[in-house]
Structure 1
Amino acid sequence: MISSLRGTVLQASDGVAVIDVGGVGYAVQVTPDHARSLRTGEEAIVYTSMIVRQESIALFGFPAREHLGVFDALIGVSGVGPKSALGVLAALSPDEIALAVASDDDSAFRKVSGIGPKTAKLIVVSLTGKLFAPARPVQNVAQIPRSDVSDSVVIALVGLGWAEKTATDVVRELVDEYAEPERDTVQALLRLALSRLGPTARQQA
């Protein structure tokens, strides 16, 4: 399994990059933006997913592990193949994908060529709880026990539609209730908060 390539860029155009690694040129399918960021003759590292099928073996490459993780999550959704998943990442950033999933917004995926309404909805349903939306800045977040983790989770919950007081109260409760190892990252504390609030408990601030 080829999980990454580091070598000289021989070619980067039309959604394909060719990376020379030890004298072997590997053709990697990439997004148009990624192809434009690569420079012929310069060294690059590409994080890859190798898709093996009866009729072919293909490499799909990404500029960061974050993109690769989202790609792997997308191809795990029924009806989403690697080319469709690459198309999603060509149209949306990992943060935008995570926010769309967290916001139950399948319209973002319907705009991607090859993704129909049913598949778009299935992406949201299948990836809920697997991707976490970035914190979005808001004004006047109420004071809670000071920590970057707690603040980020409150901001994320407000950005997802919960009332500021509701978000602040639930984060304070969870900080008091759980030991630090169980809620010492944004992902862990946000997961606890979403579980506590439930999918239907959103309130507009």
Structure 2
Amino acid sequence: MIASVSGEISQILDGQVVVSLSGLGLLINVTENTCLNCHLGMPQTFHTYLVVREDQLALYGFATAEERDLFVHLIGVAGIGPKTGLAALSTLTPEAVRRAITADQPEIFARVPGIGKKTAQKIILDLQGKIQPLEPLEAAFRLDDVDTEVLEALTALGYSVVEAQAALQSISREENPDVEERLRKALQFFS
């Protein structure tokens, strides 16, 4: 297995980068966030995972070993391939993935392109106990029905799940307004 690759970025493509090292150019599939942080000509280290198929070898690279480990866990779930695993880590932060699994929140995974409600539940069922939170879970991170509706509304308006969660966390939990009021306050977060 190729655990990591260090070299100079020679080309940036859509969801992929080419890393040059010792006259060899390696094509590495990366998350959107990793791709945005890559700059031509700059040295970069990727924590990698090699996927071997009968017709191809594909290298997947991540900014941190934690992201790579989560990717390996995700693609270990039946029905989740490397592209869907990469999409999950492009849409959600590693902490959001951990929180969704440990807090049993399939609605978070269901917002990832290529993952439906049943697959989201399967991910959580398969990975509970294998994935530990980075910090103790607090009740503040558990989405109630009102927050779930606000999260759905924000993602329908084009915000990413991560952006929507940040907006929800900015709203005081002591207040218990209705969906419309929480949505209004979440939208104010973006202005």
Q: How big is each residue's C-alpha offset from its partner over 1:134-175, in whole Å with a ceiling of 9 and x where there is no partner?
A: 33xxxxxxxxxxxxxxxxx4xx355577xxxxxxxxxxxxxx
Aligned 1:21-170 pairs, distance under 5 A: 21-135=21-135, 153=136, 156=137, 158=139
The Cα shift of 1:12 comes to: 1.9
Distance 1:96 1:160 in 2: 10
Q: How big is each residue's C-alpha offset from its partner over 1:82-123, in whole Å with a ceiling of 9 and x where there is no partner?
A: 000000000001110000011110011111111121111000
Runs of 4+ in 1 over 3 A off after TM superposition: 157-161
RMSD: 1.4
Structure 2's unaligned 5+ residue stretches are: 143-191
Residue 48 of structure 1 contacts residue 59 of structure 1 at CA under 8 Å; is this kept in 2? yes
Q: Give the corresponding residue for 1:17.
A: 17
AA paired with 1:99? R
Distance 1:117 1:158 in 2: 23
AA paired with 1:67? E
Residue 16 of structure 1 contacts residue 30 of structure 1 at CA under 8 Å; is this kept in 2? yes
The Cα shift of 1:127 comes to: 0.7
Specify the structure having the higher radius of gyration (Cα): 1
Q: Give the corresponding residue for 2:162.
A: none
Q: How big is each residue's C-alpha offset from its partner over 1:39-71, in whole Å with a ceiling of 9 and x where there is no partner?
A: 110100001110000011100110000000000
Count of aligned pairs: 142
AA paired with 1:28? I
Distance 1:11 1:131 in 2: 34
TM-score (norm 1): 0.66
Q: Give the corresponding residue for 1:168.
A: none
Residue 13 of structure 1 contacts residue 36 of structure 1 at CA under 8 Å; is this kept in 2? no
Structure 1's unaligned 5+ residue stretches are: 136-152, 162-205
Distance 1:66 1:130 in 2: 13
Q: Give the corresponding residue for 1:194.
A: none
Q: Percent identity?
A: 34
TM-score (norm 2): 0.71
